[in-house]
Amino acid sequence: MGIVVQKFGGSSLDGPKKIKNVARRVIECSKAGNQVVTVVSALGDTTDKLIELGTQVAECQSRREMDMLLSTGEQVSIALLAMAIKDMGYEVISLTGAQAGILTDKTHTKAKIIEINPERLSKELDEGKIVITAGFQGITNDNEITTLGRGGSDITAVAISAALRADVCEIFTDVEGVYTTDPRMIPEARKLAVVTYDEMLELASLGAGVLQPRSVEFAKIHNVILHVRSSFNHRDGTIVREDRYMDNNCQMEKDVVVTGVAYDLNTARIGLFDVPDRPGVAHGIFTALSRENINVDMIVQGAMRNGRNDISFTAASEDIEKVLEIMKPLTETIGISKITCDRDVSKVSIVGAGMITNPGVAAAMFEALAEEEINIHMISTSEIKVSCIINKGETERAVASIHKKFNLDKTDQYFLGRIK
């Protein structure tokens, strides 16, 4: 008998029919002889709707009250799923994040899990119950309800898997696994059998959307094997683990170049003009942002003239108001002449460890964009990725062109991915 943690996202729980479908799926896993903890998100787009409601009643959001509001979404899901399972004749109990022992820090709306006390979970499992747990939420040690940031149910599932030393953490979603790119956008996208944590981390944080990036980091640290699969069929999905070629004595370095093409529509570019060129300025700007928990992504500092630089950087769209708010007083103290903000951009990236030893890879990506006459606003590269900021309206054409350029629609998936 094993311990299986399952996670079902909002799209798998959208309405009574789908909830019953999930209930059957949970029961199946339990009947196969496993102890099952199922983590659920809010139904459908409930969280979006709650956020909208919140912004309609108040211009200035209290993050604490936002957590109070958003945590209700998952509470609805656990109750409904537990009712459905009970009705099918199985022993089950629903638990909120707090009841499941999920302790977080005090950063409302973006809390981090500090610790899981799995006592209650283990007790219920030992009594033979299926446990349904609310994703995305936890509690501080002052008994304040927190949420973990958008998509946070994945983190809950991985953290519980680590705490219970589960055999596998199954992430059920509305796609069949991790693809070479978004199959909803590009029909030629192909499913990958295995990706490594590092590849997945890049794909997820680059906007591939299947897994919450922090959940992948967490899985990597605690060595939790993930299985990303569809809630609507029983086909194998994609395994995410440390080593891509664990089962194969493989020597395919020469062919391995690019694993996938990711895009992120949820990005905006901030430009700072005439920033004084002296030590400590970048430190001042980016410390102020990090203090407010703003994740800055690409940072580019342009060539210096007359003792001044231009700096541009990107951040998530939802953080941009906050970024501007933080930057305003700073522009005066530092002496920056102008700030611009461009929300009409997206980020397109290629990922794969093979590119580090292949100098032509970035060039091929730029060629694919040039062929579509797509202008590049910013470029950044790392060991296993190349990212470009382009106009948002051109994202789909860009992804299609790059996907094709690297033969991701054709190559045997075995030959894609990371070089060991």
Q: List residues binding ligand ASP (CB under 6 A).
A: 9-10, 41-42, 47, 73, 135-136, 150-154
DSSP 302: -
CA distances from 242 to 10, 56, 158, 209, 224 (A): 28, 44, 15, 20, 9
Partner that binds at residue 313, options ligand ASP, Mg ion, none, CB closer than 5 to 8 Å by kind: none
Nearest-angstrom CA–CA distance, 386 and 84: 46
Partner that binds at residue 34, options ligand ASP, Mg ion, none, CB closer than 5 to 8 Å by kind: none
Structural contact between residues 315 and 268, judged by C-beta atoms closer than 8 angstroms: yes
Closer residue to ligand ASP in complex, CB, 41/387: 41
Contact region for Mg ion (CB under 5 A) — 2-10, 82-90, 189-197, 288-296? Answer: 2-10
CA distances from 231 to 7, 36, 170, 358 (A): 10, 16, 10, 38
Provide the phi-psi class of 149: left if phi over 0, else alpha when psi is between -120 and 50, else beta.
left
Q: Provide the minimum distance between the beta carbon of 226 and ligand ASP in the complex, in angstroms, as a whole number.
A: 14
Q: Provide the minimum distance between the beta carbon of 152 and Mg ion in the complex, in angstroms, as a whole number.
A: 9
Contact region for Mg ion (CB under 5 A) — 5-13, 158-166, 176-184, 229-237? Answer: 5-13
Nearest-angstrom CA–CA distance, 3 and 165: 8
* Residue for token pair 């959940």: 215
Closer residue to ligand ASP in complex, CB, 41/96: 41
Closer residue to ligand ASP in complex, CB, 118/152: 152
Contact region for Mg ion (CB under 5 A) — 10-18, 188-196, 250-258, 283-291? Answer: 10-18
Q: Provide the minimum distance between the beta carbon of 148 and ligand ASP in the complex, in angstroms, as a whole number.
A: 8
Q: Provide the minimum distance between the beta carbon of 26 and ligand ASP in the complex, in angstroms, as a whole number.
A: 17
Q: Between residue 25 and residue 84, which ones bind Mg ion under the rule CB under 5 A?
A: 41
Partner that binds at residue 150, options ligand ASP, Mg ion, none, CB closer than 5 to 8 Å by kind: ligand ASP
Closer residue to ligand ASP in complex, CB, 150/322: 150
Q: Provide the minimum distance between the beta carbon of 43 and ligand ASP in the complex, in angstroms, as a whole number.
A: 9
Partner that binds at residue 90, options ligand ASP, Mg ion, none, CB closer than 5 to 8 Å by kind: none
Closer residue to ligand ASP in complex, CB, 67/154: 154
Closer residue to ligand ASP in complex, CB, 91/318: 318
Tell whether residue 135 is a contact of Mg ion (CB under 5 A). Answer: no
Closer residue to ligand ASP in complex, CB, 51/361: 51
Nearest-angstrom CA–CA distance, 341 and 350: 25
Rounded to 5°, the CA angle 312-317-319 comes to 85
Query: What's the number of CA atoms in the CB half-sphere (13 Å) around residue 389?
Result: 22
The residue count for binding Mg ion (CB under 5 A) is 2
Q: Provide the minimum distance between the beta carbon of 94 and ligand ASP in the complex, in angstroms, as a whole number.
A: 16
Closer residue to Mg ion in complex, CB, 41/173: 41
Q: Provide the minimum distance between the beta carbon of 11 and Mg ion in the complex, in angstroms, as a whole number.
A: 8
Closer residue to ligand ASP in complex, CB, 210/386: 210
| Alpha helices, DSSP H, located in 236-316 | 281-291
Q: Classify 265 as helix, strand or coil.
A: strand
* Residue for token pair 């979603």: 173
Question: Measured at CB, which residue is nearest to Mg ion?
Answer: 10
Q: Provide the minimum distance between the beta carbon of 237 and Mg ion in the complex, in angstroms, as a whole number.
A: 18
Phi first, then psi, for residue 393 (nearest 5°) are -65, -15
Partner that binds at residue 136, options ligand ASP, Mg ion, none, CB closer than 5 to 8 Å by kind: ligand ASP
Partner that binds at residue 231, options ligand ASP, Mg ion, none, CB closer than 5 to 8 Å by kind: none
Query: Residue 74 burial by CB count (10 A; 0-12/13-18/19+): exposed, middle or buried?
Result: buried
Q: Provide the minimum distance between the beta carbon of 303 and Mg ion in the complex, in angstroms, as a whole number.
A: 43
78, two tokens: 């656990």
Phi first, then psi, for residue 40 (nearest 5°) are -125, 155
Strand order in the sheet with 378-382: 296-301, 308-316, 260-276, 338-351, 385-391, 378-382
Tell whether residue 10 is a contact of Mg ion (CB under 5 A). Answer: yes
Classify each residue of 18-54 as buried b or exposed e, where b means 16 or more C-beta atoms within 10 Å of its C-beta: bbbbbbebbbebbeeebbbbbbbbbbbebbeebbeeb
Interface residues with Mg ion (CB under 5 A) are: 10, 41
